[in-house]
């Protein structure tokens, strides 16, 4: 019996100094394991004299139960403590802001292009596409710019071969549409154009929007009405508009359209070169020679055409002074629009 009491005493001492689950597991193996101290005594029960055996046996059993229960209790305490510690160290602050993926946004040139398209679509124009790699015929000849004509010098051109160019303007789409369809026509054609040009206001690739309206009885006043409405929608109803005589081979008469300088309100500054006006569009009545090329009856039909540079308009709307900023892909710049 002394052996049993010293077993219990030893257990109590050991368990008293155990402080974690790993230590507890060692004690459990030592006392309650298959090869543990309790089992050893149960196995040796037969060596106890029969008259002492019942008391010895029931005491051993009590001690066995006591040890197992004590271990279970400690285990519960340690597990609870471990869980609390984990909760404490893994605490989540659900009020912290999340990880944001920055959103992309539409390029300023595309934003303005959308506005331009919306305005013309609201006036009943439809949108037409054309190829960026274009035949010399559509880019120049059908627009009354014959080979070796000095007007070709106005547009420094990337030639793919003698007869194929990167289109220098969106005007060839006029010809392609007129070849396919009869009047009445009311179209715009936005897209990329290419010129061998590069400085603060020119890039080798830029965007234009071409416009064309053909019907019976179209006059210069129709052109004026459409373009004034367009400019007032885009730049505000108070924007002064001026039509100035000009020359394009594919229109006659031709005009350049200026708006009152939005930087100095017309008093004269560096941007408008002290004139108070800024050019934003070329336009005119379609030259009968262009109609003849596509087989339109010039005594029945007349029309107007116009063309504008989208980067230039974007720069005016957002007061951007260097066109190259638009194509450097610097997010600090682009995120402002």
From the list 36-44, 93-101, 182-190, 303-311, the region that binds ligand DAH by CB under 6 A is: 303-311
Distances (CA, A) of 72 to 6, 64, 78, 191, 306: 21, 12, 10, 79, 91
Nearer to ligand DAH, 11 or 172 (CB): 172
Position 296 contacts ligand DAH (CB under 6 A): no
CA distance 313 to 112: 8
**What is the C-alpha R_g of the chain?**
45
CB atoms within 10 A of CB 294: 18
User: Quick check: 305 binds ligand DAH (CB under 6 A)?
Assistant: yes
Stretch that binds ligand DAH, among 59-67, 84-92, 262-270, 302-310 (CB under 6 A): 302-310
Question: Are 285 and 252 in contact, with CB atoms under 8 Å apart?
Answer: yes
Q: How far is the CB of 192 from ligand DAH (least distance, A)?
A: 13
The residues with which 211 forms a beta bridge, in sequence order, are 188, 306
**Cβ closer to ligand DAH: 154 or 269?**
154
Min separation Cβ 171 and ligand DAH, Å: 4
Residues 311-336, buried b or exposed e (16+ Cβ, 10 A)? bbbbbbbeebeebeebeeeeeeebee
Where are any strands of DSSP class E within 172-239?
Answer: 185-194, 205-215
> Which residue, 144 or 171, has its beta carbon nearer to ligand DAH?
171
Q: How far is the CB of 135 from ligand DAH (least distance, A)?
A: 16
The encoded tokens of residue 272 equal 């408008």
Report if residue 260 touches ligand DAH, rule: CB under 6 A. no
DSSP per residue over 33-68, as a string?
STTSHHHHHHHGGGGS-TTTHHHHHHHHHHHHHHHH
Stretch that binds ligand DAH, among 59-67, 79-87, 101-109, 279-287 (CB under 6 A): 279-287
307 binds ligand DAH (CB under 6 A): yes
DSSP 61-120: HHHHHHHHHHHHHHHHHHHHHHHHHHHHHT---TTS--PPPPPP---HHHHHHHHHHHHH
Under the binding rule (CB under 6 A), the answer on residue 283 touching ligand DAH is yes
Residue 169 · residue 140 · CB < 8 Å: no
Tell me the residue number closest to ligand DAH, measured at CB.
Answer: 307
- Contact with ligand DAH (CB under 6 A) among 251, 272, 311, 323: 251
Site for ligand DAH in 156-215 (CB under 6 A): 169, 171, 210
> What is the total count of residues that contact ligand DAH (CB under 6 A)?
11
When the beta carbons of 171 and 326 are compared against ligand DAH, the nearer one is 171
Coil, helix or strand at residue 96: coil
Q: Minimum Å distance from CB 138 to ligand DAH?
A: 12
The least distance separating ligand DAH from the CB of residue 334, rounded to whole angstroms, comes to 26
Pair of tokens at residue 143: 């627009």
Q: Of 8-37, which residues contact ligand DAH (CB under 6 A)?
A: none
d(CA 140, CA 7): 110
DSSP 3-state assignment of 110? helix
Q: Closer CB to ligand DAH, residue 31 or residue 206?
A: 206
Smallest distance, Å, CB 305 to ligand DAH?
A: 3
β-strand partners of 193: 206
When binding is defined by CB under 6 A, the residue of 172, 191, 282, 303 that contacts ligand DAH is 282
Interface residues toward ligand DAH, by CB under 6 A: 169, 171, 210, 248, 251, 282-284, 305-307
């Amino acid at each position: 019996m002394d052996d049993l009491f010293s077993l219990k005493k030893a257990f109590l001492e050991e368990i008293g100094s155990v402080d974690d689950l790993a230590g507890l597991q060692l004690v459990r193996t030592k006392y309650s394991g298959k090869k543990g101290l309790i089992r050893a005594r149960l196995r040796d029960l037969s060596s106890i004299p029969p008259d002492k055996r019942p008391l010895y046996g029931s005491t051993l059993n009590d001690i066995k139960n006591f040890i197992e229960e004590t271990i279970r209790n400690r285990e519960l305490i340690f597990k609870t403590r471990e869980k609390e510690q984990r909760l404490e160290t893994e605490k989540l602050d659900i009020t912290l802001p999340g990880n944001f993926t920055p959103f992309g946004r539409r390029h300023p040139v595309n934003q303005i292009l959308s506005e331009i398209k919306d305005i013309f679509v609201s006036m009943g124009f439809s949108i037409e596409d054309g190829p960026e790699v274009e035949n010399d015929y559509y880019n120049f000849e059908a627009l009354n710019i014959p080979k070796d004509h000095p007007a070709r010098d106005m547009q420094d051109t990337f030639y793919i071969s003698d007869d194929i160019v990167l289109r220098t303007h969106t005007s060839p789409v006029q010809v392609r549409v007129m070849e396919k369809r009869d009047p009445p026509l009311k179209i715009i054609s936005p897209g990329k154009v290419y010129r061998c040009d590069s400085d603060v206001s020119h890039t080798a690739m830029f965007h234009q929007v071409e416009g064309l309206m053909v019907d019976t009885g179209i006059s210069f006043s129709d052109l004026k009405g459409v373009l004034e409405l367009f400019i007032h929608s885009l730049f505000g109803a108070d924007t002064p508009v001026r039509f100035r005589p000009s020359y394009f081979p594919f229109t006659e008469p031709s005009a350049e359209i200026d708006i009152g300088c939005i930087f100095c309100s017309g008093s004269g500054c560096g941007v408008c070169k002290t004139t108070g006006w800024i050019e934003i569009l070329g336009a005119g009545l379609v030259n009968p020679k262009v109609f003849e090329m596509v087989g339109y009856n010039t005594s029945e039909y007349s029309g107007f055409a116009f063309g504008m540079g989208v980067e230039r308009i974007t720069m005016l709307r957002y007061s951007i002074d260097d066109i190259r900023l638009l194509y450097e892909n610097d997010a600090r710049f682009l995120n402002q629009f």
